[in-house]
Amino acid sequence: MLLVPDVVLLPEGPVRDRAVLVEDGTFRAVGPVRKLTQEHRDARTVRLKGHLLMPGFVDAHHHLTQSFGKAQAFGQPSEIFKTVWEPLEHALDEETAHLSAKLAALEALRGGFTTAADAGTRAPIDVGVVAKAAEEAGLRCVLSKVVSDGKGAKEHLERFQNSRLIHPSLAIPVPEDATAEVLKRTADLCADADAVFQVHVNEHLASVERSLKSVGRRPLSYLHHVGALNAHTLGSHATLLTPDEMRMLADTGAAVSYNPVASAWKGNAVAHALMWQTMGIRFGMGTDGTRGNGFRLIDAAESAQRLTYGLLSGDSVCGAGRSWVTHATGLSADAVGLGKVTGEIAAGKAADFLLVDLQVPELTPSYDLSWELVRLADRDQITAVFVDGKLRLWEGWPTTWDGRALVRKAAEVGPKVVQRARIQRVDPDPDGTTRHVSAAHRRS
């Protein structure tokens, strides 16, 4: 299949007069239209007028089995994994975990994500259930198994060798969940297997203080101290880093995920991603399962940096549009251990890509497409989503399975799981202010 769009988003930026050859789930060639059409006359040529062909977004931090929670976390304090997420995941069985993960995978694909790194579930299930859901939906998944007890790590890393979409990973939710020996062994196993070791680090004040009280060090500093910080470590959030901890990341080559929406919804701070970029710290971008929309993620990424750091220093650029697009695609792929697999429109990479409609009022006239993708584009412009060279979604819905039936079932089952979970929520409106306003509005 020879694709000829109006614009191709290459690593160096948006380029016109380029064609892309896709074969066996891989980009085989990228080059000038005339050259490729002459060299590949036997290929089926598909002209995509008015469209951008761009790499799919890569979600560097997700929780696929938390999709039934959604608004349960809204208006809650930052430390909610004990009161919301653990009870929710513990209430899942294999059937409901599969449904939750597949719903999350569908939302991710609709938002332009072709890959998601799942940080590991606490549900009492075999993680093969999550793998099955991702494969059925057509989402590439870096799939973690939680190994805080040190059990089953090696077996998990060897389990999915025959899958084109599932890439195994190991996770320990927070460093103090495991002994120093297990942390070091897990990091070493991942390094030997060329997989990523996922762990939440320095997410909010409560997590930093808990680590100081339990092990005497801040989370990221503790990982470094025990030898579990290396080029295969992926630290999630990392919003509260000291200069010394940033230097630890830069020196070890460890990666982190910048999760701006999570900061806005439940955080104490916004990670200094611009400083990371300057220091050469590897980082991708993640949703934390907040909302599966790649365009809104990069918009939030730039906005958060501008509001927290750019305004104070008079920085009107804040990384520019291209930085955030790159960090949400190719550099996110690198952070989750798939830099050689996906994240770019380049020969030899997996054909994970989006077709984005450019003929919309929001992008007309167009002067700087990279900036416009960050600030003006949205998921309703995604005409098609391809993963591993296969068409997974057309105009927002699956082409080979019934996505609407899944949504109907999730709407029925999800609230029952939440009720069974006995989630403990802080009343976000204890004085009834919002309720009183709403009642007055209804009377008027």
Confidence (pLDDT) at 439:
56
pLDDT tens sequence across 54-64: 999 999 999 99
**Which two structure tokens, joined as six digits, stand for 243?**
């200069």
Cα–Cα distance for residue pair 248/259, rounded to 1 Å: 20
* pLDDT at residue 444 is higher than 70: no
Domain regions of the chain by residue span: 2-55+345-398, 57-335
* pLDDT at residue 96 is higher than 70: yes
Percentage, residues of the chain above pLDDT 90? 91
Mean pLDDT of 370-375: 97
Q: Would you place residue 435 in the very low, low, confident or very high pLDDT band (cuts 50, 70, 90)? A: low
Mean pLDDT of 90-117: 98
SS3 165: coil
Would residue 355 be called left, alpha or beta, if left means φ above 0 and alpha means ψ between -120 and 50 degrees? beta
**Which two structure tokens, joined as six digits, stand for 29?**
């060639």
pLDDT tens sequence across 153-165: 999 999 999 999 9
DSSP-assigned beta bridge partners for residue 285: 258
What residues have CB less than 8 Å from 200, skipping those under 6 apart?
A: 119, 173, 174, 207, 219, 235, 236, 237
Mean pLDDT of 288-314: 97
Q: What's the alpha-carbon Rg for the chain, to the nearest Å?
A: 22
What is the DSSP-derived secondary structure letter of residue 342?
S
Single pTM value for the model = 0.96
Helices 403-421 & 94-110 angle (0-180, nearest 10): 130
Identity of the amino acid at 395: E
Cα–Cα distance for residue pair 283/257, rounded to 1 Å: 5
Q: Containing H/E element for 411?
A: helix 403-421
Nearest to 104 by CA among 140, 80, 68: 68
CATH topology assigned to domain 57-335 = TIM Barrel (3.20.20)
Confidence (pLDDT) at 441:
56
What residues have CB less than 8 Å from 302, skipping those under 6 apart?
A: 318, 319, 321, 324, 374, 375
CA 144, chain centre distance (Å): 13
Asked if residue 403 lies in contact with residue 392, where contact means CB atoms within 8 angstroms, the answer is no
Q: Would you place residue 443 in the very low, low, confident or very high pLDDT band (cuts 50, 70, 90)? A: low
SS3 319: coil
Confidence (pLDDT) at 253:
98
* pLDDT at residue 440 is higher than 70: no
Q: Would you place residue 427 in the very low, low, confident or very high pLDDT band (cuts 50, 70, 90)? A: confident
Q: What is the CATH number of domain 2-55+345-398?
A: 2.30.40.10
pLDDT tens sequence across 326-352: 999 999 999 999 999 999 999 999 999
Identity of the amino acid at 60: A
Longest dimension (CA), the chain: 71
Cα angle 5, 298, 242 (rounded to 5 degrees) comes to 145
DSSP string, 238-279: --S--HHHHHHHHHHT-EEEE-HHHHHHH-S----HHHHHHH
Q: Would you place residue 309 in the very low, low, confident or very high pLDDT band (cuts 50, 70, 90)? A: very high
Nearest to 273 by CA among 228, 305, 241: 305
Q: Would you place residue 432 in the very low, low, confident or very high pLDDT band (cuts 50, 70, 90)? A: confident
Identity of the amino acid at 432: G
Mean pLDDT of 70-81: 87
pLDDT tens sequence across 378-393: 999 999 999 999 999 9
